[in-house]
């Protein structure tokens, strides 16, 4: 086994060690290997003299406080019990809220769509009025119509904002996303 192989095995077998602990251990073995290489020993002989790699790995784990390992495992894998309880308690509430949410979403998207259509017509109407007032040299009126156009343009761009253009209730895709992320662990 070469030095690189040895180190990569340690690295992969001790991956649930604290990063600092792992790097410290690796640098210790690296230093020992380098010293012995300088003393004229062969790379393979040095690694072989370390003995069983399982023993080295278990020594590294034995050395750190148990609490630290458990904490790390807990962070990685534990699906906390209180989360399950919360989930169960939340289901009735969820069933009540879901239809309301869907209806609200549909109405809101309809409202936004109508608002957009209304704005387009408004712009056309006020644009026409603006041209008429410009032709009749009534600049005060033109200024007014121009202002109203700006208001419609503002409303239109607001209703076209991506947050509000709800084509379909996308709550399902969001749930799907969440579930698939949970499944990933």
Partner 1 sequence: MDIQLKKGLLEICVLKILEQQDSYGYQIIKDLSNIIQISESTLYPILKRLEINQYLTVYTSEHNGRLRKYFSITDNGKQRIKHFLKEWEELIKIYHFIKEGQYD
Contacts with partner 1 by CB under 8 A lie at 25, 27-29, 31-32, 34-36, 38-39, 49-51, 55-56, 59-60, 62-63
Q: Which is nearer to partner 1, 29 or 152 (CB)?
A: 29
Give least dist CB 4 to partner 1, A. Answer: 16
Give least dist CB 96 to partner 1, A. Answer: 55
Give least dist CB 76 to partner 1, A. Answer: 24
What is the Cα–Cα distance from 89 to 157, expressed in whole angstroms? 41
What is the Cα–Cα distance from 26 to 12, expressed in whole angstroms? 12
Q: Give the DSSP letter of residue 164.
A: T
Task: State the Cα angle at 74 between 68 and 94, rounded to 5°.
Answer: 155
Q: Which is nearer to partner 1, 47 or 119 (CB)?
A: 47
Which tokens go with 51? 């003995």
Q: Which is nearer to partner 1, 33 or 123 (CB)?
A: 33
What is the Cα–Cα distance from 59 to 129, expressed in whole angstroms? 86
């Amino acid at each position: 086994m070469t030095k690189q192989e040895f180190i990569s095995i340690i690295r992969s077998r001790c991956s649930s060690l604290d990063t600092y602990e792992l790097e410290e251990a690796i640098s210790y073995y690296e230093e020992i290997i380098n010293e012995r290489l300088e003393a004229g020993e062969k790379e393979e002989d040095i690694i072989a003299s370390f003995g069983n790699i399982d023993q080295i790995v278990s020594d590294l784990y034995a050395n750190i406080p148990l609490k630290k390992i458990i904490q790390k495992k807990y962070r990685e894998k534990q699906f906390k019990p209180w989360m399950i309880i919360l989930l169960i308690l939340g289901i009735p509430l969820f069933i009540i809220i879901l239809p309301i949410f869907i209806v609200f979403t549909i109405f809101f998207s309809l409202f936004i769509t109508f608002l957009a259509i209304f704005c387009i017509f408004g712009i056309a109407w006020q644009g026409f009025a603006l041209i008429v007032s410009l032709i009749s040299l009534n600049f005060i009126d033109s200024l007014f119509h121009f202002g109203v156009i700006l208001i419609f343009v503002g409303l239109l761009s607001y209703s076209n904002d991506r947050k509000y253009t709800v084509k379909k209730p996308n709550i399902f895709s969001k749930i799907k996303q969440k579930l698939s992320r949970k499944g990933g662990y």
